[in-house]
A = this chain, B = another copy of it.
Amino acid sequence: MELAVDIVNLCKSFTLNNKELKVLENVNLQAEAGKFISIIGPSGCGKSTLFRTIAGLEKEYTGSVIVNGNDIRQSRPYIAYMLQKDLLLPWRNVRKNIVLPLELSGKLKNTDTGFLEKMISEFGLEDFVEAYPDELSGGMRQRVALLRTWLMEGSIMLLDEPFGALDALTRKNIQDWLLEIWEKHRKTVLFITHDIEEAIYLSDEVYVMSPRPGKIIENININFGRPRRRDIVYTSLFIDYKRWLMSALQV
C-alpha cells in the first residue's frame, strides 16, 4: 500500500544550555494513506517535535521523512497541522481566523463558504463569529483552531492534542464529527492525545512513544470496523487494548 508518511530512523536533538538534548531517537513510522493513526507518549517525550519535523518546521534532524513520496527536505509538504497551542491571530475575529488558510491559498473568493456557517454552528460557535480570540473560552479557541486546520490544504492532517481543552460532551461530538468527515474524505490523520480511550476509539493504529529521548516502543493495530459505534468501548477487545497500552505506558 501507498505510504502517506514514511519516517525512517529519525533522530532529533536540541541544544539546551549548551548541552545536547536528545529528543527523538531512531523513530520509525509508516503511515498508510487514508489511515487514522494515534500517537501516545509521556509529556515531553517528543510528540510535538515529531509533528513539527513532519510539517517542515524543524530543519535539523537526521534520518529521513518522506511525505507522499517526497523527502520534506526537498519540498515543503502539503499538510494540515493543528499545533498544540491554538495560535489564533489576536487581531482577527473568529471567522477571519478560520478562513485564513483559504485566504492564503487565494481560494477564499472561489470557495463556497456557506458550509462554514454550518460547521461553525456544529462547533457551537454560531454566536461568536464576530468575536475576537480574547473573548473566547479555552475550549472555544481550540475549536476555532480545529476548524481552521480543517480548511488547510493537504491530504495529511497532524492534530496535536486537538481536544485537550474540551469537556466530555463537546469532545464526543467533535470526535464524531472528525470521524465522519475523515470517513468521507479519507485523509491520513496523525493524532496526538493523552486519552488512551480516545486513541483506541478513533484509530486504525496506535503508536506508543517512550519517555525522552522518544522512541516508538509499541505499535498496535486496532481491529474495529468502520464506521465505529460508541459502544465498542464496552467490548473486551477494547479493554484489552486499553490494558495493553497502559502497560506500555507504564501507567
Contacts and interface: CB of A to CB of B under 8 A. Distances in A.
Interface string A213-251: 000000000000000000000000000000000100111
Interface stretch (A2-10, A104-112, A133-141): A133-141
B131 A17 contact: yes
A21 interface: yes
B194 A166 contact: yes
The bracket for how many chain A residues form the interface is: 35 or more
A136 B48 CA distance: 11
A165 B164 contact: yes
Interface in A13-63: 14, 16-17, 21, 40-44, 47-49
A164 B138 CA distance: 11
A166 B43 contact: yes
Contacts of A136: 44
A168 interface: yes
Contacts of A246: 168
A41 B172 CA distance: 14
Contacts of A41: 167
A170 interface: yes
A21 B127 contact: yes
Interface of A: 14, 16-17, 21, 40-44, 47-49, 84-85, 124, 127-128, 130-131, 135-140, 143, 161, 164-172, 194-196, 246, 249-251
